[in-house]
Amino acid sequence: MMQKRHTTRGLVLLLAMVLCSLGAQAQRWNWVVPATGPSFDEVWSMGIAPGGDLHLTGSFSDSLDFSGQVVTSYGNYDVFTARYNNKGQILAANGHGGFDLDDAQSMVVDKNGNYYFAGSFAVEALIAGELIEAIDVTSTDMFVAKFDKLGSLQWVKVFGSPTYDEGAPYLAVDSLGSVYVTGGVGGRGQFDTKSYQSVGKLDAFVAKMSANGEFVWVQGSGSTENDMGTAISVSPNGDRIYASGTFIGQVNFGGNVTIESFVNKADFFVRAFDANGSTRWVKRIGYSGTDRYITSTTQADGKLVLTGAMSQTTTFDTQTLKANGENASDFFLCRMSKDGAIELLKNYGGIFEDVGMSIAVDAKNNVFIGGFYDSTTTVGGNIEEAVGGRDGFATRIMFNGEIDWLRSCGGPYDDEIRAIVIDSKNIPYVTGIFETWAMFEDVKLTGNRFSDVFIAALDCGPSTTLKPRKTQLDICEGQDSLIQARFGYPNYEWYVNGTKDATVSGYTFATGKLGQGTFQIYSRITGFDDCVKNTDTITVVVRKGLPVPTITRVGDELRCSVDDVMYQWYREGNKLNGQTGQTVVVSGDGLYRVQIMDSTGCDRWSENFLVGTTSVFEDESGSIVTLYPNPTQGQVTIAGAAGAEITITDMLGRVVVRLQNAADLQLVSIDGANGTYAVTLRSGNAVHTVLVTKQ
């Protein structure tokens, strides 16, 4: 549910023949189908029925071809509704409208499979063969239509003002079949026997309708400028209704609740009602410029979840976020309690524009967001480069706000994912627009010159990305390298040439134990939704490596056993600068280690050699625990902490690594930016923290 964006078309920014970099591999596309026509076709909303059927709505001109089912417009732009099964097969497609401009922005489905769509029209229009008439022939008005699960029209209601033009409104439906509508209305808005008088131009309104289509109550708010409701969500039992939108200036939301936008520019409002239409709370979101995109959904417990676009330093009630780009937006995730308290607030994106256009949650309150990014984006460590100007993206974000996976799609022009829904098996479905052609991994959709519609399904389950993001890894025998799956899933199984390696159970696979040869490595992961997926496969080619170096001591000198290689000495995990010979003079007590390297890139580490007492640290049993190298370029080894829990956090307290039941010699990768990290080891009742510098 989103405000309509007028796109400047025809500017070719970049042509490329691949959609995603290797770093972007995530969920695979199960299927993707187009709906194409000769003019600009727009899809704005999608709902999902209990049985998995997908209902879409939007607008088109001339004609629109849904896999052989063609709808034809009556006049200018008309509205379409389309129904697909969960395999991407078209079941029904219909056109609605009249001779003037018609539009639809919202589609919802209730628990019984009844579906509802809302739109706007001028003068008169046909909705499933039923003629509706505007309140006044000189204005554009709104409508809501209800269909049963078989597609039969149950009722259609017209509402609006005789003196103002209203755009298409937005819908939500609760478990009892009550319908909730938001949008903008000017003058004296007529809602059957109910009415609302706007304060200024267009005011943001919220209305409740019964399952039979009767208006139960109408509320509104506004300033002397144009104010709009652009998203509405409802708790399953209907005890909380959340309306979001934009306002300009000072607005009274009832009683003593008055908020004011920043420097008289458009900010967001979020307003909560109870079932009787009484305002429970109102929050402001905004920055010094004009805010444009906001949409929402609710969790099963009735909490509100929002996404959209935030820029520069944006205030969310009493909290703030700073965008990653100086003058470009990030997309955001905000979770609010039923009482309006912010429980989670994060932003995501790169230095260019990132926008969230649609949001959904699964049964475990993981969040799915669809939208678009411009040029390049960085989300959860993934760097995505657009094929053209804008590419669409879909991402799954875990309950704590961490990115699980990200998938993009697009072609040479502007492409967007505008709606995303989740079925009972946690399979995500998306719909949006593309121009001319677009790539969905290795599937190429071809359309016409102007914008066309696509519908697609992604895999359920965990991220299938492996790090390093390579198809082949060339290493030397005994070389310490890590293959990593996405951290945090319930279960991992690792396979080497098709055979399960029972010695590995975590999210990392250490290559040091592999002998010479070629190995196909992948992991089979169980996700939070019990969906099991195989990751991408990495081919590991192991060539002859260096021998294991040993250290001996003669007097105050330590000597490496391997001749004619390059050397780097370490003490207590810290590099000894300038100590690059076969021998090193003891410079104090501690644990010494040597790394040897050759000109082909092979390296090998010695075991620790203890000189005197150690200042590393001891666990609760008295065993010595070491961490090296420190500083590091990203990988550290923790020795002697078998069975411990390892947690690595950045200086903002964000967890970047969490590992249960560490091995006695545990290799860990720090994937974040350069800086200082806190490595905390927990074993029994003992806790010890070491600061590590990544450079």
Between CA 533 and CA 461 the distance in angstroms is: 7
The predicted pLDDT at position 43 comes to 98
Residue pointed to by tokens 């590099």:
575
Structure tokens at 524: 């089979």
Q: Are strands 538-543 and 472-476 parallel, antiparallel or unpaired?
A: parallel
Integer angstrom CA distances of residue 640 from 215, 255, 377: 69, 64, 40
Structure tokens at 27: 């969920």
Q: What is the pLDDT of residues 257-305, one digit of tens each?
A: 899 999 899 999 999 999 999 999 999 999 999 999 999 999 999 999 9
What contacts 65, CB < 8 A, 6 or more positions away? Answer: 35, 36, 37
Q: How confident is the model at residue 619 (pLDDT cuts 50, 70, 90)?
A: low
Between CA 348 and CA 329 the distance in angstroms is: 9
Instruction: Tell which wins on pLDDT, 40 or 589.
Output: 40
The predicted pLDDT at position 612 comes to 74
The predicted pLDDT at position 618 comes to 54
Kindly tell me if the per-residue pLDDT of 20 is higher than 80.
no
Structure tokens at 137: 């022939």
Between CA 516 and CA 188 the distance in angstroms is: 81
> What does pTM read for this prediction?
0.79
Hey, what domains does the chain have and what are their CATH numbers?
Answer: 472-543 (2.60.40.10), 617-695 (2.60.40.3080)
Residue 448, Cβ density class (10 Å: 0-12 exposed, 13-18 middle, ≥19 buried):
middle
The predicted pLDDT at position 461 comes to 85
Cα four-point dihedral sign 31, 32, 35, 37: negative
Name which of 310, 315, 352, 311 is nearest 333 in CA terms: 310
Kindly tell me if the per-residue pLDDT of 371 is higher than 90.
yes
Do 28 and 441 touch, CB atoms closer than 8 A?
Answer: yes
Between CA 13 and CA 593 the distance in angstroms is: 52
- Running DSSP on this structure, what letter comes out for residue 410? B
Kindly tell me if the per-residue pLDDT of 591 is higher than 90.
no
% the chain with pLDDT above 70: 94
Residue pointed to by tokens 């506004």:
222
Q: What is the pLDDT of residues 208-218, one digit of tens each?
A: 999 999 999 99
Between CA 355 and CA 236 the distance in angstroms is: 27
Residue pointed to by tokens 């290799």:
667
The predicted pLDDT at position 632 comes to 83
Instruction: Tell which wins on pLDDT, 442 or 53.
Output: 53
Helix (H) or strand (E) holding 569: strand 566-571
Task: Catalogue the E-assigned strands of 398-462.
Answer: 403-409, 416-422, 428-440, 443-458
Name which of 417, 491, 423 is nearest 455 in CA terms: 417
Strand order of the β-sheet with 655-659 is: 655-659, 645-649, 675-683, 686-694
Kindly tell me if the per-residue pLDDT of 335 is higher than 80.
yes
Do 139 and 123 touch, CB atoms closer than 8 A?
Answer: no
Task: Name the average pLDDT for the chain.
Answer: 90
Between CA 221 and CA 460 the distance in angstroms is: 41
